[in-house]
């Protein structure tokens, strides 16, 4: 599935409402990527972070394909951080620049809502939650994090790299960011000969339907209105409360449960995929000899050279060969499995019974559902 629509406006420019409209049966762009489709999944958040920190265009776009492939449209963050990349990756996509009618109102809105996620308060309170911790890191990498953060991480935020916008963090800075981002979108589209629909929420369905060549919905169907100021306040409370709750849960007494509470397999000291000790073979360099033989055979066949004409060093005199070997290593490597700890008898009798512990007070169980996606094909 190719991306058909790129909504290039900044967050707090009716992005949630636009997502609902794009996913409707009238516009048919389902699913539409939005920050709401990133936050619950740490693996997607990590892809966003990797792309934000990657300065090489080809490698960055390869990461972005992993993130956006399979979506019919893109709006909100993280898409707005990579508008020029997305225009190159999907040159036939329609560009919508969703805006607010007043830059001052947008600056106040962003200051009262999303900038909370750039604070040390949010970072500290959400540290126990992997998803929310990555959420904070994304904001720091893309926008204006707390003073000192970029010194600690040795990175420069995206807004500063693209527009030179940093501190002071105030309404004037946000207005400049808003204006320069919108002008950036116009210029990038102009370079590529692409039209841009500049749209504001009060414009409703008509301009978008006309721009995308879609029929208008019934007059009785209003344009979606989502994620207003009250909902943003609720979201902040929920995220902080959830993270604090996870911090409490992760500190429970393991002896409260019956049976085995810990794994018999020890965890690696450094579980990173880049740590060679976790893989066999341990690095791509160990494949160098095998790779040299194969590449020499290929090159002899192509150039008609004798074996003695091609030395070992000749096969590995450029970066492309090393990249080829690293790719083969990532395909062929196997994880090194740890040895299990000595067996110990396990007591499977529960130390507490919930029926007794909560006999007088009762127990309420809340099930958290991360995401529900209903489609005409899967209505239930």
pLDDT digits (tens, 9 = 90+) for 132-167: 778 777 777 776 543 333 333 333 445 555 555 454
Between 319 and 1, whose confidence is greater? 1
Residue 279, SS3? strand
Q: What is the pTM of this model?
A: 0.59
pLDDT above 50 for 22: yes
In 3D space, the residue among 74, 94, 83, 84 whose CA is nearest the CA of residue 34 turns out to be 74
Q: How confident is the model at residue 258 (pLDDT cuts 50, 70, 90)?
A: low
Are the C-beta atoms of residues 362 and 354 closer than 8 Å to each other?
Answer: no
> Are residues 233 and 285 part of one domain?
no
Does residue 55 sit in the same domain as residue 123?
Answer: yes
Of the chain, the percentage scoring pLDDT greater than 90 comes to 30
pLDDT at 178 over 80: yes
C-alpha to C-alpha distance for 37 and 35, rounded to whole angstroms: 5
Q: Helix (H, G, I), strand (E, B), or coil: what is residue 199? A: strand
Quote the number of domains for the chain: 2
DSSP letter for 61, please.
H
Q: Which residues contact 212 (CB under 8 A, 6 or more apart)?
A: 4, 5, 27, 94
Residues 237-251, mean pLDDT to the nearest whole number: 54
- What's the pLDDT band for 244 if we cut at 50, 70, 90? low
Helix (H, G, I), strand (E, B) or coil at 94: strand
pLDDT tens-digit profile of 68-90?
999 999 999 899 989 999 999 99
Do 134 and 212 share a domain, yes or no?
yes
Q: Write down the mean pLDDT value for the chain.
A: 76
33-40 long-range contacts (CB < 8 A, ≥24 apart) are 33/67, 33/68, 33/71, 33/73, 33/74, 33/75, 33/76, 33/79, 34/75, 34/76, 35/11, 35/76, 35/77, 35/78, 36/76, 37/371, 38/78, 39/131, 39/132, 39/135, 40/131, 40/370, 40/371
pLDDT of residue 260: 64
Contact 76, 11 (CB under 8 A): yes
Residue 367 domain-assigned? Answer: no
- Whether residue 351 lies inside any domain: the answer is no
Q: Are the CB atoms for 311 and 300 separated by under 8 Å?
A: no
* pLDDT tens-digit readout, 261-318: 666 677 777 767 778 888 888 887 777 655 455 555 544 444 444 434 433 344 444 5
Residue 144's CB: how many other CB atoms inside 10 A?
22
- 184 and 238 in a single domain? The answer is yes
Q: Which is more confident, 371 or 219?
A: 219
Q: What is the pLDDT of residue 84?
A: 93
Point out the domain boundary residue: 297, 312, 335: 335
| Pair (75, 160) in one structural domain | yes
Q: 181 and 99: one domain?
A: yes
Q: Using one digit for the tens of pLDDT, what is the confidence trace for 323-352?
A: 778 778 777 888 888 777 787 777 777 666
Indicate whether 85 belongs to any domain: yes
Whether residue 281 sits in one domain with residue 243: no
pLDDT for 69: 93
Q: Is the pLDDT of residue 213 over 90?
A: yes
Higher-pLDDT residue of 111 and 230 is 111
| Residue 160 and residue 239 in one domain | yes
- What is the domain range of residue 314? 276-335
Identify the sign of the CA torsion 153, 159, 160, 166: negative
- 249 contacts: CB under 8 Å, gap ≥ 6: none
Tell me, yes or no, whether 90 and 194 share the same domain.
yes
Q: Which of 233, 249, 265 is the last residue of a domain?
A: 249
């Amino acid at each position: 599935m190719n991306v058909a629509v790129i909504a290039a406006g900044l967050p707090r420019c009716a992005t949630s409402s636009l997502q609902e409209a794009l996913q409707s049966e009238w516009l048919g762009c389902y699913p539409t990527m939005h920050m709401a489709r990133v936050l619950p999944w740490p693996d997607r958040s990590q892809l966003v972070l990797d792309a934000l920190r990657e300065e090489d265009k080809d490698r960055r776009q390869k990461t972005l394909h992993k993130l956006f492939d399979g979506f019919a449209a893109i709006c909100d963050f993280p898409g707005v951080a990579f508008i020029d990349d997305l225009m190159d990756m999907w040159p036939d996509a329609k560009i919508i620049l969703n805006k607010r009618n007043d830059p001052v109102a947008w600056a106040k809105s962003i200051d009262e809502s999303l900038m909370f996620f750039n604070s040390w308060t949010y970072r500290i309170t959400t540290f126990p939650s992997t998803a929310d911790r990555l959420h904070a890191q994304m904001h720091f990498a893309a926008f204006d994090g707390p003073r000192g953060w970029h010194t600690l991480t040795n990175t420069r935020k995206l807004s500063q790299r693209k527009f030179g916008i940093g501190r002071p963090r105030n309404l004037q800075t946000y207005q400049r960011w808003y204006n320069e981002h919108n002008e950036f979108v116009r210029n990038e589209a102009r370079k590529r000969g692409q039209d841009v629909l500049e749209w504001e929420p009060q414009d409703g369905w008509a301009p978008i339907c006309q721009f995308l060549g879609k029929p208008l919905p019934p007059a009785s169907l209003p344009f979606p209105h989502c994620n207003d100021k009250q909902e943003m306040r609720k979201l902040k409370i929920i995220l902080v409360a959830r993270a604090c709750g996870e911090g409490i849960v992760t500190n429970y007494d393991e002896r409260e449960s019956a049976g085995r509470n810990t794994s018999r397999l020890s965890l690696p000291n450094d579980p990173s995929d880049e740590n060679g000790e976790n893989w066999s073979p341990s690095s791509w360099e160990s494949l160098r000899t095998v790779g040299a033989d194969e590449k020499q055979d290929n090159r002899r066949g192509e150039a008609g050279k004798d074996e003695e004409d091609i030395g070992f060093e000749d096969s590995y005199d450029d970066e492309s060969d090393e990249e080829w070997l690293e790719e083969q290593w990532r395909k062929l490597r196997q994880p090194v499995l740890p040895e299990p700890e000595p067996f110990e008898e396990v007591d499977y009798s529960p130390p507490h019974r919930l029926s007794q512990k909560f006999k007088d007070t009762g127990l309420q169980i809340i099930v958290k559902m991360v995401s529900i996606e209903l489609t005409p094909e899967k209505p239930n």
